[in-house]
Amino acid sequence: MIANGTVHKYGDNVDTDVIIPARYLNTASHEELAKHCMEDIDATFVSTVKTGDIIVANKNFGCGSSREHAPIAIKASGISCVIASTFARIFYRNSINIGLPILECSEAAQEIKDGDEVEVDFDSGKILDKTLGKTFQAQPFPPFIQNIIEKGGLLNSLKDG
């Protein structure tokens, strides 16, 4: 599986309240949530994001509330992958569970810049910043996680066996 897109870059401690503010948690509709994704940290995100784009951030991405609406909103907005130095643990688990690929890679998180064109190979864990002409290595997903992501989430993967 390969992801390919333009980078939206953020800093440390991007919390799930800014990813999807609680004022929009009165719905579980993926399309509705996507309309407000990143609204309180980047009001232009929704109008600029294209299918396949990639979010890159520094440490502790997704901290705070356990709302699964946060990775759902990111995935439904068209983002193909999130790369960060570290992730908050509930967000990490939720992302895998809903089939949003997410990679920890400090080097990539530090060097990749907003607007760079990046390609990610999930089988090998290779992250290529085409703008910088530089490759970074993240830990690839073990097969069972790859299976969850390919099936579109944990419960889908259980259903299909």
Partner 1 sequence: MGMTMTQKILAAHAGLENVTAGQLIEAKLDLVLGNDITSPVAINEFEKCGAQSIFDKNRIALVLDHFVPNKDIKAAEQCRQTRDFAGKYDIKNFFDVGRMGIEHALLPEQGLVGPGDCVIGADSHTCTYGALGAFSTGVGSTDMAAGMISGKAWFKVPSAIKVVLKGKLSPYVSGKDVILHLIGEIGVDGALYQSLEFTGEGVKELSMDDRLCISNMAIEAGAKNGIFPVDDVTLAYEKGRFEREPKIYSADPDAEYTREVTIDLDILRPTVSFPHLPENTKTIDEAAGVKMDQAVIGSCTNGRMEDMRTAAAILKGRKVAKGLRCIVIPATQQIYLDCLREGLLEIFVEAGAVVSTPTCGPCLGGYMGILGKGERAVSTTNRNFVGRMGHVESEVYLASPAVAAASAVTGVLTDPAKLPAVD
> Which of 9, 17, 106, 140 is the binder for partner 1 (CB under 8 A)?
17
80 binds partner 1 (CB under 8 A): no
> Residue 74: is it exposed, middle or buried by C-beta count within 10 angstroms (0-12/13-18/19+)?
buried
Whether 137 contacts 126, CB under 8 Å: yes
Say how many Å lie between the first and final Cα of the chain, rounded: 20
Q: By CB under 8 A, which span of 1-9, 12-20, 116-124, 125-133 interacts with partner 1?
A: 12-20
Cβ nearer to partner 1, comparing 55 with 118: 55
> Exactly one of 52, 78, 125, 153 binds partner 1 (CB under 8 A); which one?
153
Which of 1, 22 has the CB closer to partner 1? Answer: 22
CB 129 within 8 A of CB 111: yes
Check: CB of residue 100 under 8 Å from CB of residue 75. Answer: yes
Output 1 or 28, the one with its CB closest to partner 1.
Answer: 28
Cβ atoms 116, 132 nearer than 8 A? yes
Per the listing, tokens 């989430």 go with 153
Q: Is 86 in the site for partner 1 (CB under 8 A)?
A: yes
Binding site for partner 1 (CB under 8 A): 13, 15, 17-18, 21-23, 25-28, 40-41, 59-60, 63-69, 71-72, 86, 88-90, 93-94, 97-98, 153-156, 158-159
